[in-house]
Chains A and B, each alone.
Chain A
């Protein structure tokens, strides 16, 4: 196992890293990035009940424009027919279709996405514009059997598993800020990936933890998600 490292060792840091340090987080490197490995013990079980993880340093990117979808198709990307759905690529990257002209690509938990690397380096035709989602948006994961109850307190869209299938996306208001919520279960673990403006992620993190308290939720490291696969 990696020895513990400091989040300030690289320039790609989460806006929440000071909060993690205060919670005695242990940081490890995952692929090319550094993320919280764990805070305490037995987080695998905690994640099954209710956990909140900060994955903001992991890779993701967006492409938008009238030519974006056709170009992605040429590059061998498989995306859903309907907007507001996501589908998995062979390398583990999740491709979320946000509209008829916009895709969001999210790497898996390894911290490395061959697809994202390939598209970022590829030549883009006219009317395809890259969106630096890894810089503009934070990425939180809210998981566990009480995640739907928690979201019901801060979001008006019905996100309960029986009404919101795995792979579906809601672009909506979460604790009064704009968010993209993507249900991306981990094995049997109900999980929601939440992307929101990184400038307000401290507020969102605190708000979610506050909403989680009644269900005994707490922050978990990335390792807890990996261990639940």
Chain B
């Protein structure tokens, strides 16, 4: 079994984790267009090589980031997402012509 090192819980069997998708910065929520949101939600770089991606340790519901090589499956490093997200973002509902459709 492959071992992944969780920043909170230490080295654990890969089966304790769930893959959570590629990391890409969230669009500016105040004025991103529907097209930008579509791209953010559905589209991926799907790089063959080193990528930064989300993982969740299931038993602790703890989300973190990993750098992994998608050609070799080697994990280069794992780190807490506080390093990238350190402030709370509140979403207020906005109505644009696109969302009204």
Using a CB–CB cutoff of 8 Å, the interface residues on chain A facing chain B are 66, 83-84, 98-100, 127, 156-157, 170-173, 178-180
Measured CB to CB, the closest approach of chain B to A226, in angstroms, equals 29
Contact present for B60 and A173 (CB under 8 Å) = no
Residue from A66, A100, A127, A172 in contact with B12 in the complex, judged by beta carbons closer than 8 Å: A172
Question: How many angstroms from the CA of A156 to the CA of B13 in the assembled complex?
Answer: 8
A180 touching B8 in the complex, CB below 8 Å, given contacts A172-B16, A173-B13, A173-B16: no
| Neighbouring B residues of A83 by C-beta, 8 Å | 8
Q: Is B33 an interface residue, CB under 8 A from the partner?
A: no
Question: How many angstroms from the CA of A178 to the CA of B12 in the assembled complex?
Answer: 13
Contact present for A171 and B88 (CB under 8 Å) = no
| Neighbouring A residues of B62 by C-beta, 8 Å | 99, 171
Residue from A66, A99, A180 in contact with B88 in the complex, judged by beta carbons closer than 8 Å: A66
Question: How many angstroms from the CA of A84 to the CA of B8 in the assembled complex?
Answer: 8
Residue total for B at the interface (Cβ-Cβ under 8 A): 14
Residue from B12, B13, B58, B60 in contact with A99 in the complex, judged by beta carbons closer than 8 Å: B60
Q: Which residue of B lies closest to A98 (CB)?
A: B60
A171 touching B15 in the complex, CB below 8 Å, given contacts A83-B8, A84-B9, A99-B8: no
| Neighbouring A residues of B1 by C-beta, 8 Å | 156
User: Could you tell me the dominant secondary structure of chain B's interface residues?
Assistant: mixed
Contact present for B9 and A172 (CB under 8 Å) = yes
Question: How many angstroms from the CA of A170 to the CA of B88 in the assembled complex?
Answer: 29
Contact present for B12 and A156 (CB under 8 Å) = yes
Residue from A127, A170, A179 in contact with B9 in the complex, judged by beta carbons closer than 8 Å: A170
Question: How many angstroms from the CA of A127 to the CA of B88 in the assembled complex?
Answer: 10
| A-B pairs with beta carbons under 8 Å apart, 18 shown | A83-B8, A99-B8, A99-B60, A127-B88, A156-B1, A156-B12, A156-B13, A170-B9, A171-B9, A171-B57, A171-B59, A171-B62, A172-B9, A172-B12, A173-B15, A173-B58, A178-B58, A179-B59
| Neighbouring B residues of A99 by C-beta, 8 Å | 8, 60, 62
Tell me the residues in window 1-52 of chain B with beta carbons closer than 8 Å to chain A beta carbons.
1, 8-9, 12-13, 15-16
